[in-house]
Structure 1
Amino acid sequence: MSGDASVLARIERLRKGGAPRVLDLFSGCGGLSLGFHAQGFEIAASVEFDRDAAASHGANFHPGDPRHARARDITKLTPQQLAHELDLGPVDQAIDVLVGGPPCQAFARVGRSKLREIAEHPEAFRMDARARLYLEYLRYVEAFLPLALVMENVPDVLNHGGQNVAEETRLFLEELGYEARYTLLNAAFYGVPQMRERMILIAVRRELDVDIRFPEPTHHVELPPGYAGSRQVALKLLRSHDGAAPGYVPAALPHPGLEPAVTAMDAMGDLPPITAHLRGDIGRGARRFDELAAYPTRRNTDYATLMRGWPGFESAEGVWDHVIRYLPRDWKLFGRLLPGDQYPQAHAAAVRMFEEALADLKRRGKIVRTGSAEWEALRASIVPPYDTGKFPNKWRKMEPDLPARTLMAHLGKDSYSHIHYDSAQSRTISVREAARLQSFPDGFVFCGAMNAAFRQIGNAVPPLLARAVAGEIAAVFERAVGRNQRRPGRLAA
């Protein structure tokens, strides 16, 4: 089927009431998918290399169908093979929307001339590991020719070593028949209790003849200086080449008249407190999600109510993944920190605790000689070993009255970047608290053990941000379908 006929056929299917079908590439556990699902889209398929993340995506969007829980390597899987394996039908009719974000480390100085060669030389640059995943994403776009697509990534893709990857992508997509625009959105402006800046690119088939719009903010917060600075760095290349990035659209900024941003306490305060570690009731070993943590009886915030009652992902009694890391050296130290404290303050507090321990031993008649093996062992049991000059931001105690700082993928290795604001609990956040900060509802399942779940959450697109973007794609289809209802059988010129 020709490209024009394929577009018309899919528009006709939507006009008859069919739900728009989504393919999620580099899907992770499904943050983007969940946002689109919430707007009425059908999650038709996904491609994800990580085994646990693929299992999570399948468990949430295709429970009981093992085909959708299988990890797949996009570099070894053609679009035709994917469509065949999942019974999606002909590739040019299989999906309506393609979403996803190639891993940011995949971006290299590819250049638009090289992007053009994809269509003519399918094997071009196949051996270039730096660019391969990025090019595979574009190959899938070329094969499926979705009516609309969303690409998500870090703001740095606007200025990657002097290269605007988003603009080069836009120009390539235009050659495939799309109109494309991109912008920067902060998740906190869309109801996510987390300050997380993302580049969002939206592209729509030119035949649909509709404007591309980005979601209006719903919440307001003054971002800390570091976020404004990061945005300025990302936009520096655009400003230094005036007019060289016509695809960039400045996003609408929030105003103080909007709802206040959702805070960490709004997001996590209704979950049961965790204090067993302070009594010595938590040991080493894998953390499994096999124990229900019942909701306490208390008044919920609107956000907590949403997380408990998200349609299709409800949780009535409690959560199963409210588990934390085993960090016995630092639990008492966490309680000493003030909200907003980072590693230098933590290290100084730990040194004071060490000095107090030495003084206590001295009061009891035991002198520990400075520099002795016993002195070194005692210090190591209290004071973290990291250089305060090299790791100024390694730790952070969360502020209860602000959205959380950005959750990173290294949550899978440690959680010191998000120490719970409640000193009485004196710990880092749990898996479920991390999920709440990303706006995953309580009924959303994470497969694998604790480390795998943290990694999936840290890598995800916040579902509420995805829901806002999906709403704009839904509006695109509503405008296009409505026009075709008035003029059956053809699209606007």
Structure 2
Amino acid sequence: MMGDLRPIYIDLFAGCGGLSEGFIQSGFTPIAHVEMNKDACDTLRTRSVYHYLKSQNKAELYTNYLKGLIDRNTLWSYAPLSVIESVINKEISEDSLCEIFDKIDNSLGNRAVDVIIGGPPCQAYSIVGRSRDPEKMKRDPRNFLYKYYVQFLKRYQPKIFVFENVPGILSAKNGVHLDNIFNAVRKAGYELEIPKKKFLNAKDFNVLQDRKRVIIIGWKKELSLSYPDFEEKEPQYEILRDLFSDLKKLKNGQGSLGLAPYEKEATAYLKMSRIRNGLDFTTQHIARPNNDNDLEIYRLAVEEWNNGRRLNYSELPRKLITHSNTNVFTNRFQVVNGRGISHTVVAHIAMDGHYYIHPDKTQNRSITVREAARIQSFPDDYFFEGSRTAAFKQIGNAVPVLMAEGIANKIKEML
């Protein structure tokens, strides 16, 4: 799609493409994305068309889509069918493997796969998921999706693979799942080692977010490689000043899925991160509507935060408490740290915005789709298909783009 000399990769459990976008920005070419969620696949297709049009010096056609001048089907029609079909909307299972292999084989032709990337859905490994499940996720079939990942390694024999997941994978079933993954990968002909740092943090990649992830990297046994070194560096930027300051101020329920012109020039961070990347507008800067009760809690939460304290739900005025159990999730309302970096953005942001309250009290709302995407370091021209809720879910599940690019740069050195 973007030149024969670029290393080729397959993205499994691809989500909306955060990991993939980082690899593309690092100079890799995707040959296939496999993802079960339709909205995420539509997002991947739209982004794949963007990259194709950009490679043909026709990026203005994509800009027309963002401006609402053409619809999605028209946009997709500007790219070869192979670009659309490279996104495979299938759940990876015993029943679907042959079909997925056939589609990838058709895309590949006689080329060799250099890298396989991706991470199986993480709920089965997450500490929160296990705490909510009476059986501690022991029977969850997602615990065993790594076996399918290994099937792709056996078939396509990439030089290197990247397996991404939540820190909970280290302790799931007392480490048995991690041991099983390592053993299966070694049997498939790959070597790996436990990294010195058991997980990487997005903030070390200039992402304005405290987000820990386990990144397993493996390589063909005949290659003399080792796990790369990743530097630790605390970002010297702030959410309000450096990430949000050029976006229009909104109240709850305001904003638009369409055009959102910038209010100010790009900050140094927005330029460095390439979140602002050439257009004079973004999209999907839209805030949820809230009831008066929630808005009063948001106001109190920001006041507490500005005074150096986190709001405790059980200590709210009685008239504002709507949940009978005040002892569980006492931090159900949480403010994004405007004077530093954000706490982890997770898929639950699709359910409500209470855990991601905007730090500017005058706006009194939860963060918008675009603000969440920026915290995940997605470029401002990245468009998330589906409803507002679907967009939030895709963003919360994604790997931050800058983190993915940093990992991809290390993989490129290894290759």
TM-score range, shorter chain: 0.7 to 0.9
**Distance in 2 separating the partners of 1:90 and 1:68:** 13
Does the aligned pair in 2 maintain the 1:79–1:144 contact within 8 Å? no
> Identity over the aligned pairs, expressed in percent?
30
Q: Match for residue 210 of structure 2? A: 195
Shift of 1:473: 0.4
**Distance in 2 separating the partners of 1:90 and 1:297:** 47
**Distance in 1 separating the partners of 2:89 and 2:22:** 21
1:301 aligns with 2:301: no
Say which SS state the counterpart of residue 260 (structure 1) adopts. coil
Q: Match for residue 162 of structure 2? A: 150
Q: Match for residue 426 of structure 1? A: 364
Shift of 1:428: 0.5
Does the aligned pair in 2 maintain the 1:335–1:425 contact within 8 Å? no
CA deviations on 1:129-173 (whole Å, 9 max, x unpaired) are 354422212211221111110001011111112124334322322
1:54-453 → structure 2 map (5 Å cutoff) = 54-63=41-50, 64=76, 65-75=83-93, 76-78=95-97, 81-84=100-103, 87-89=106-108, 93-106=111-124, 129-182=141-194, 183-217=198-232, 219-220=233-234, 260=236, 263=239, 265-275=241-251, 277=252, 282=253, 289-290=257-258, 292-298=259-265, 300-306=266-272, 314-329=277-292, 330-337=294-301, 338=303, 339=305, 342-344=310-312, 348-351=315-318, 379=319, 382-385=320-323, 387-453=325-391
**Distance in 2 separating the partners of 1:161 and 1:409:** 23
Structure 1 gaps of 5+ residues are: 1-15, 109-126, 221-258, 352-378, 478-493
**Distance in 1 separating the partners of 2:325 and 2:366:** 20
1:35 aligns with 2:35: no
Does the aligned pair in 2 maintain the 1:189–1:261 contact within 8 Å? no
**Distance in 2 separating the partners of 1:209 and 1:98:** 18
Change (3 A) 1:141 1:265: farther
TM-score by length of 2: 0.79
CA deviations on 1:374-432 (whole Å, 9 max, x unpaired) are xxxxx4xx544353311212111122122100111111111111101100001100000
Shift of 1:185: 0.6
**Distance in 1 separating the partners of 2:275 and 2:144:** 40
Change (3 A) 1:27 1:288: farther
User: What amino acid is aligned across from residue 439 of structure 1 in structure 2?
Assistant: S
User: What amino acid is aligned across from residue 286 of structure 2 in structure 1?
Assistant: V
Change (3 A) 1:151 1:59: same
Shift of 1:70: 4.9
Say which SS state the counterpart of residue 328 (structure 2) adopts. coil
Shift of 1:317: 1.7
Say which SS state the counterpart of residue 457 (structure 1) adopts. helix
**Distance in 1 separating the partners of 2:164 and 2:172:** 15
Shift of 1:266: 2.1
**Distance in 1 separating the partners of 2:297 and 2:270:** 29
CA deviations on 1:253-289 (whole Å, 9 max, x unpaired) are xxxxxx53554542222211113x4xxxx48xxx972
Structure 2 gaps of 5+ residues are: 51-75, 77-82, 127-138
**Distance in 1 separating the partners of 2:239 and 2:409:** 24
TM-score by length of 1: 0.67
User: What amino acid is aligned across from residue 262 of structure 2 in structure 1?
Assistant: Y
**Distance in 1 separating the partners of 2:192 and 2:98:** 22
Does the aligned pair in 2 maintain the 1:79–1:140 contact within 8 Å? no
Say which SS state the counterpart of residue 365 (structure 2) adopts. coil
CA deviations on 1:181-206 (whole Å, 9 max, x unpaired) are 34311111111111011101001112
**Distance in 2 separating the partners of 1:179 and 1:326:** 50
Shift of 1:301: 2.6
Does the aligned pair in 2 maintain the 1:323–1:430 contact within 8 Å? yes
Say which SS state the counterpart of residue 149 (structure 1) adopts. strand
Q: 1:466 aligns with which of 390, 400, 404?
A: 404
**Distance in 1 separating the partners of 2:223 and 2:414:** 8
